[in-house]
Amino acid sequence: MRDEFRNALAAAEDTLAELADGAAAAIERATVALLEADLTAAKTALEQNQALRTRLAELESNAYHLLALQAPVASDLRVLVTVVRLGANIERMGSLAAHVAETAERRHPASVVPDSLAPVFRQMGEVAREMAVDAAAALRSRDTEDAARLASKDDTVDRLRLDLFRQIAGDWPHGAEAAADAALLGRYYERFADHAVAIADAVVYLVTGVAAEA
């Protein structure tokens, strides 16, 4: 019984890692949609998000099914609760990628991002994608160093977001609507990155039993 439960948990963790990779793919496509005003990429990102949601709902329902059938011990339960929580993080990452894609769709055929901001969003998209991949790797390896690497990438996202605000607050010739779009897009990437960090923190917690500093 215990082994069966453990196997099911390990499978759930593998699925989470796969889904974190899925979130990486979604933010990559969404960023292409944004920078190239590419509707096909936007559509792909939205489909990837839907696929994530479907699989996460299954994962969660399996987790509750496991609870109903087994009498897990405390350490296994901690993993199970964490699986459910991490599912919520990944779900948010998918939604945030979808928000980026939807913004690109809404403004199509116009480009959402002024040329002067394209490098900032290109970098944000790249770092966000890497962070989701790193989160997946941390889930697979349970290596607390993977988690440490994520924190430094999160600083990069914060710095990029500051660049963004400096441009908006400076000489901004693109109008109020573009400023609002850019601010929200920056927020979406920042939150995407935060969720990747939260996943890595949860891995540290699983490994060490000590919660990361909030």
CA–CA distance, 31 with 121 (Å, rounded to integer): 8
The two structure tokens encoding residue 94: 């998918």
Query: Does the CA dihedral 57-191-140-50 come out positive or negative?
Result: positive
Query: Taking the complex as a whole, how short is the minimal distance between the CB of residue 80 and a copy of itself, in angstroms?
Result: 8
* Residue (40 or 208) nearer to a copy of itself, CB: 208
> Which residue is associated with the tokens 């963004």?
164
With CB under 8 A, what is the number of residues at the site for a copy of itself? Answer: 35
10 Å CB burial of residue 43 (0-12, 13-18, 19+) is: middle
Using only C-alpha atoms, the chain has a radius of gyration, in whole angstroms, of 19
- Please give the residues from 33 up to 72 whose contact with a copy of itself meets the rule CB under 8 A: 53, 57, 63-64, 67-69, 71
* Chosen residue from 179, 199, 203, 207 binding a copy of itself by CB under 8 A: 179
Q: Are 49 and 98 in contact (CB under 8 A)?
A: yes
182, 196, 197, 204: residue in contact with a copy of itself (rule CB under 8 A): 182
Q: CB 157 → a copy of itself: shortest distance, Å? A: 16
Burial class (CB in 10 A: 0-12, 13-18, 19+), 32: buried
**Six-digit token pair at 102?**
């939807």
- For position 172 contacting a copy of itself by CB under 8 A, the verdict is yes
Stretches 128-136, 139-147, 152-160, 174-182: which one binds a copy of itself (CB under 8 A)? 174-182
Chain residues binding a copy of itself by CB under 8 A are: 53, 57, 63-64, 67-69, 71, 73-74, 77-78, 80-81, 84-85, 88, 165, 168-169, 172, 174-184, 187, 211, 214
